[in-house]
Each structure stands twice: as C-alpha cells, then as structure tokens.
C-alpha cells in the first residue's frame, strides 16, 4: 500500500500518476485514506487558482487607502528633505571640525603642563593614618548607649577610666559622663 507522503508526491508531481500501475495504487490509497481523499479536491482548486489568477479590482478601497498613505508618506519625506536643505547652514561641519581640533589641542597642552608639573613636584610619603585608641571607641560607645537609654553605657565609661593607655582627656571625659 502507498504511504501518504508518496500519495502527495504523485499528486503534485504527476497529477495522480503517469502509468496504469501508479494510477491504480494512487486511487486505491485515495479510497482507503480519508485525509488524502480531502486533499485531492483542495489541490485541484489550488491548481485552478494558480493557472488563472484574478486581476485585482480597479476600485478596491483597501488598495486605494494603502496607495494614498504611501503617496502621503513619500510627499512628507520629500518635504522634510527640502526643508532640511533650506535650513542647513553652510560651513557648519567645518566649524565643528575646527572646534574639535581646538579642544584636542587644548587637552594635549594641558596634559603636557600637568605632566611637567608632576615631574617637578617633590614626592612625599603619604601621611600616617589616624588610629583611634580602644578607649576612644569605648568612650564613643558609652555616649551613644547612654543617649539610647541602655544601661551598658556605664561599663564602657568605666573601661576608659581604668585603661592605662587612655589619654588624660579621655579619662576626664569618661569621669564626667559617670557623674551625670
């Protein structure tokens, strides 16, 4: 028995078969397969439509609207191009090029000056970093916790007073905080 793929190939390429054996197998498959039975008249309609295509109607409203839109669009683009030509100042591109060249030259000159100043400037090591003592951290914590109403502030202030590495100013500040 013929497959559906072979049936379609014979339908399209041979119009149903050239020799008697192929025509018989084609007709046998057509009677046995419901889908292929429906394809034959549809393909016949397609063939007729392709052999004599209809001319489009002269008064087709869709075609008229599409053509009117296309003409309007082309006219607008031509008008915009004409306006652009009339409003363009001559020599604008030359002025822009000169301005760009001047900016590049100025940047180059500034770069040379900065580079020369950097060569003559004495290089110094960076300043020593400022380190806060642990007692300073405790003092700041005591102030913040006291402002929040947390009772652990007192422990931090007492740590500063007892710290031998704390400065006299930090110790006095902690004592004042404890007296309040």
In tens, the pLDDT along 17-47 reads 888 998 999 899 899 998 888 888 888 887 8
Read off the pLDDT band of 158 (50, 70, 90).
very high
The span from the CA of 167 to the CA of 174, in Å, is: 11
- Is the pLDDT score of 101 beyond 70? yes
Contact by Cβ (8 Å): 18, 42: no
CA distances from 106 to 50, 96, 109 (A): 72, 15, 5
Q: Whole-model pTM? A: 0.31
- The per-residue pLDDT for 49 is 72
- The per-residue pLDDT for 91 is 58
- Is the pLDDT score of 119 beyond 80? no
- The per-residue pLDDT for 65 is 78
- Residue 8's H or E segment, with its range, is helix 4-14
Angle at alpha carbon of residue 155, lines to 150 and 161, rounded to 5°:
135
How high is the mean pLDDT of the chain? Answer: 81
| Poorest-pLDDT segment among 50-59, 77-86, 160-169 | 50-59
User: Which domains does the chain possess?
Assistant: 4-51 (no CATH), 134-179 (1.20.58)
- Is the pLDDT score of 175 beyond 90? yes
- Is the pLDDT score of 109 beyond 90? no
């Amino acid at each position: 028995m013929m497959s559906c793929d072979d049936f379609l190939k014979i339908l399209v390429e041979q119009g149903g078969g050239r020799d008697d054996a192929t025509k018989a197998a084609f007709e046998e498959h057509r009677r046995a397969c419901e889908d292929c039975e429906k394809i034959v008249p549809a393909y016949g309609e397609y063939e007729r439509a392709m052999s004599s295509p209809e001319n489009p109607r002269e008064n087709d409203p869709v075609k008229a609207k599409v053509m009117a839109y296309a003409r309007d669009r082309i006219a607008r683009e031509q008008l915009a191009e004409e306006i652009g030509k009339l409003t363009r100042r001559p020599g604008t591109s030359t002025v822009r090029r000169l301005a760009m060249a001047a900016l590049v030259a100025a940047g180059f000159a500034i770069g040379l000056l900065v580079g020369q100043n950097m060569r003559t400037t004495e290089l110094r090591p960076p300043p020593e970093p400022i380190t806060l003592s642990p007692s300073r951290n405790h003092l700041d914590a005591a102030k913040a916790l006291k402002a929040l109403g947390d009772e652990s502030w007192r422990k931090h202030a007492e740590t500063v007073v007892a710290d031998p590495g704390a400065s006299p100013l930090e110790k006095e500040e902690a004592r004042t905080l404890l007296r309040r």
